[in-house]
Amino acid sequence: MSEDKEAQEDELLALASIYDEDEFHRAESAQGGEMQLCLELPPDFKIIVKGDTKTEYNVSFLPPLVLNFELPADYPSTSSPSFTLSSKWMTKAQMSTLCRRLDELWEENQSSVVLFTWIQFLKEETLDILGIMSPLEINRGGSKAGGERKKTDPAVTGSSLTGSHSKSMEEQIVEEKKKKSEMQLMSSQLDPRAVLLRDPHVDPLPQLLDFDEGQRQRVFDSKVFCCGICFVEKLGSSCLCFKECQHVYCKACMTEYFQIQIRDGNVQCLNCPEPKCTSVATPLQVKELVNDELFARYDRLLLQSSLDLMADVVYCPRLTCGTPVMVEPDTTMGICAACQYAFCTLCKLGYHGVSPCKISADELRHLRDDYLSATAQEQKFMEQRFGKRVIQKAVEESFSRDWLEENCKSCPRCGTNIQKVDGCNKMTCTTCKQYFCWLCLGALSKVNPYGHFNDSRSPCYNQLFQGVDVDDDDDFLSDEDD
């Protein structure tokens, strides 16, 4: 007995020295412990989760097999260790096969310590003995495999079946007995020491992917990388790895980089510093490196930039509101859900129906210039946002205003646009009949309109025909024809 106890103690101490605390945990109240056994998967190993649709995922790690054992007093001289084997992704049939193989290994090594042999077998040979290869199919939870068979009364079923393909009551009873015996045989082959740790009604995919991500991060944290910015070698735990491109930089450099970009409002530019690389940091990575205030600004600007790219979203023009507003296609009316303000999406003033927008010439020209200089895709986006007819009207009206500004002047009395085609600089408004000077736009006396050009104190003195080509044979228009 003392030799058995000494052998047990030596074996447990050896396991503790070989494996770290995450892999081996020794029991406190008994001679035993627990082993977490992560299987070594081949490169590019994939899992397929079966459900309504089949989805394929690349994984590097699967949740470990858990070997719980207790050493009886007469181990290893007489008895083998008591154990259970559990898993979150294997079936009970697969684990039962492993349990039987562990028993065989004990028989082959009877009277010798066997735990290390078991552990090495489970870690190195499990995939081969079970025939597990990529892609590994895993059933989604929430449904019973094969569906639920509807229970029927053999007598009722037999009496309702007619024709050559119907089965007699005796045949159905024989089939039921055969299925029952098959189920009993399958149940007898399942080892009670095989424990399924997963609820069959729960989707296993999130657990598998979370474990794989956690193990990948642990491996990354333990490696050493050289930052491409400061050229200092640091552990992965002090570095950031961009998900898409796998380029690695230290967190100190990336923190400073992110802070500058967010303060400048460039939330779409938190990309990998590698030249020509388009990978972008995830919001979770940004949150890890910047303070709460900067992350709140990043989150707000990122949402705003996303909304800006949506053709059917505008912002309430009220300075105290600014709420995003969904607008219907082919309309210029927006109604803010927060403040109930109805506004025109083009001029941002109160909604004015079919009346033209009251916007300045500069604003209209800016809209026209943006539209004319845009690409076909950008023009389509503007047409969706403001309406194609509104854009066309804005362009036409802007061109008209430009032409009027270049070729016409406004009457100083009523503001009517007047174009000078020919004649002297004394003009007559076509609307209000006011006389005015074309050069200085000053109103002229109805009694003596030419006095303005004959007065030496006038800025337009002796400039009645300034800028006019005069031919000796031409007769000038009378006052009534101006």
Catalytic residues: 424
Q: Are 327 and 333 in contact (CB under 8 A)?
A: yes
Q: Please name which of 64, 101, 99 lies closest in space to residue 82, comparing C-alpha atoms.
A: 99
- 196/217 Cα distance (integer angstroms): 27
Cα torsion angle, 214, 218, 220, 225, sign = positive
Whole-Å CA distances, 161 to 154, 155, 169, 172, 179: 11, 10, 10, 12, 21
- 352/332 Cα distance (integer angstroms): 9
Q: Are 77 and 4 in contact (CB under 8 A)?
A: yes
Token output for 249: 């930089």
Q: Please name which of 8, 191, 201 lies closest in space to residue 112, comparing C-alpha atoms.
A: 8
In this structure, what DSSP letter does residue 37 have? E
Number of H helices, E strands in the chain: 13, 20
